[in-house]
Amino acid sequence: YITINIYPFLSAGLRSVPLETIMSPTMPFLTQQISAFKVALGKILPSGRILPIAIGETGWPSCGANRFRPYNYAVLNNSMTYMSSVAQWIEGNASDGVVLAGNLFTTFDEELKGTRPIERYYGLLDVDGSPKTEATCRTNATEPSVAWLEADYPECET
């Protein structure tokens, strides 16, 4: 099998993909991503045989979002809705059988992760293992801008 990582949070924030296509229980956005992946695989595999697909990682940040897009989409409700919908889609009949499995990213927040602060809040649970609430979510609203983001996505860092 082959894996694909899909993080639609950025598609909602940067590409204005409607949340309902990303979070619907039928997962139209994810279905389109998998279909496009299968087409690409068909072009590069010499036998024309499509390998089974596993979703290596998919998730949605739940905190860190008091700024302009895409960060304003990183809220607890969006995270929980997406994670529930994608788990049901992977396990259910909406997945066409080509998707073998999927990994929801991730169980716990990682406060010490050395990347942009929003990357630290993909967990379904807080770093201490307690359930997340709006009150326990932290924000990256005071995080300074990062040069490569300003260059590639100027609308995100204003």
- State what percent of residues in the chain have pLDDT above 70: 75
Q: What is the dihedral of CA 138, 142, 146, 147, to 10 degrees?
A: 160
Report helix, strand and coil shares of the chain as percent, to nearest 5.
Answer: 40, 15, 50
91 token code pair? 């396990």
Residue 125 per-residue DSSP state: B
pLDDT at 126: 87
The residue ranges of the chain whose pLDDT is under 50 are 140-145, 148, 156-158
Query: What's residue 4's pLDDT?
Result: 93
Tell me the H-state helices in 24-68: 28-44
User: Average pLDDT of the chain?
Assistant: 79
Name the 3-class secondary structure at 146: coil
